[in-house]
């Protein structure tokens, strides 16, 4: 089987179209499908305002619709293009995750008095596309585990998070991820959004908050799983500047960055 793994596309269809697809039997994507420039810019602005003791910038109807549509339409365009060639299996990263819930769509529509497209409904219309969340899929004798994006406790400590709600959420998400990976047992390939802690996960993007520079943004839960089970391959993204390959024991770990790719035969 010839497998193509693609890093977080972030709506960059031009770059995706440069990836060779001939002979590929299966496509795996590490998450963050859509373009989220507006949402990311606002997030960083509010982080800085919070540090300076200023009120966060609030969304209005125009901004809410524009930022939502940016993610939605760029996500759908990526999936439609790739699924025309071969079956596509993807995670959701931290970008667009909440948008698959109809309750979130209705909440945003009611709050701002606007009409928004449903990401879940849009995905359901695409043939040969599969959204996989915290499950193992078997392809013959090949076992591939898909671990969705989550906030690891170690991230909270590394970035000195003070928000009690986020700290509690991270604890809950970390415990869930540990259970999921225990249930996976040994897989041939692990597809996850975050890199393992200390491996291709250092933040060196100068466009982000200065206090984040040089810190590790990976997951110790994922690191411990790799050390314990030694899958043959791990494909991840999230920390774009960490693009590259490193090994832990017999495991080859690929941070595929933004729409980077790796083709393997297995």
HEC string for 170-210: HHHHHHHHHHHHHHHCCCCEEEECCCECCCCCECCCCCCCH
Q: How confident is the model at residue 22 (pLDDT cuts 50, 70, 90)?
A: very high
- Domain ranges in the chain? 2-265
Rounded to the nearest 10 degrees, how much is the dihedral formed by the CA atoms of 62, 68, 69, 74?
Answer: 150
pLDDT over threshold 90, residue 243: yes
User: Of the CATH numbers 3.60.21.10, 1.10.10.10, 3.40.50.970, 2.60.120.580, which one belongs to the domain with range 2-265?
Assistant: 3.60.21.10
pLDDT, tens digit, 9 for 90 and up, residues 116-163? 999 999 999 999 999 999 999 999 999 999 999 999 999 888 888 888
Task: Provide the pLDDT confidence category of residue 79 given band limits of 50, 70 and 90.
Answer: very high
Q: What is the DSSP letter of 145?
A: E
- Please calculate the CA angle 71-3-234 and round it to the nearest 5 degrees: 75
Distance CA 46, CA 93 (A): 21
CA distance 161 to 249: 32
Q: Give the integer Cα–Cα distance in Å for 257 and 2.
A: 21
Q: Between β-strands 26-29 and 88-90, what pairing exists: parallel, antiparallel or unpaired?
A: parallel
Task: Give the 3-state secondary structure percentages of the chain, helix then strand then coil, rounded to 5.
Answer: 40, 20, 40
- Residue 208 banded pLDDT, cuts 50, 70, 90: confident
Contact indicator for 198, 245 with CB cutoff of 8 Å: no
Average pLDDT over residues 31-45: 89
Q: How far apart are CA 42 and CA 47, in angstroms?
A: 9
How many helices and strands, by DSSP H and E, does the chain display? 8, 11
Average pLDDT over residues 176-190: 98
Residue of higher predicted confidence among 193 and 95: 193
Q: Which two tokens stand for residue 138?
A: 């078997």
What is the edge-to-edge ordering of all strands in the sheet holding 261-265?
129-131, 88-90, 26-29, 2-6, 261-265
SS3 246: strand
**Res 23: pLDDT:** 95
The enclosing H or E element of 124 equals: helix 119-124
């Amino acid at each position: 089987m010839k497998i193509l793994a693609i890093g977080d596309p972030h709506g960059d269809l031009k770059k995706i179209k440069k990836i060779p697809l001939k002979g590929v039997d299966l496509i795996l994507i590490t998450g963050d499908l859509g373009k989220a420039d507006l949402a990311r810019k606002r997030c960083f602005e509010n982080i800085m305002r919070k540090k300076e003791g200023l009120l966060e910038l609030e969304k209005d109807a125009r901004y809410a619709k524009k930022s939502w549509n940016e993610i939605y339409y760029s996500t759908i365009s990526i999936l439609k293009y790739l699924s025309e060639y071969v079956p596509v299996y993807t995670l959701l990263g931290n970008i667009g995750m909440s948008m698959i819930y109809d309750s979130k769509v209705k909440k945003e529509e009611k709050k701002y008095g606007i009409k928004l497209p449903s990401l879940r409904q849009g995905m359901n219309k695409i043939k040969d596309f599969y959204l996989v969340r915290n499950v193992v899929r078997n392809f013959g004798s090949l076992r591939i585990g898909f671990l969705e994006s989550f906030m690891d406790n170690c991230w909270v400590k590394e970035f000195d998070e003070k928000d009690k709600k986020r700290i509690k959420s991270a604890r809950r998400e970390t415990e869930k991820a540990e259970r999921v990976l225990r249930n996976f047992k040994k897989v041939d390939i692990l597809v996850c959004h975050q890199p393992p802690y200390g491996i291709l996960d250092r933040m060196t993007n100068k466009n982000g908050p200065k206090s984040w520079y040089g810190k590790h943004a990976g997951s110790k839960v994922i690191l411990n799983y790799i050390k314990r089970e030694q899958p043959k391959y791990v494909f991840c993204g999230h920390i774009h500047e960490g693009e590259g390959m490193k090994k832990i024991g017999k495991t080859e770990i690929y941070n595929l960055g933004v729409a980077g790719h790796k083709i393997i035969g297995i």
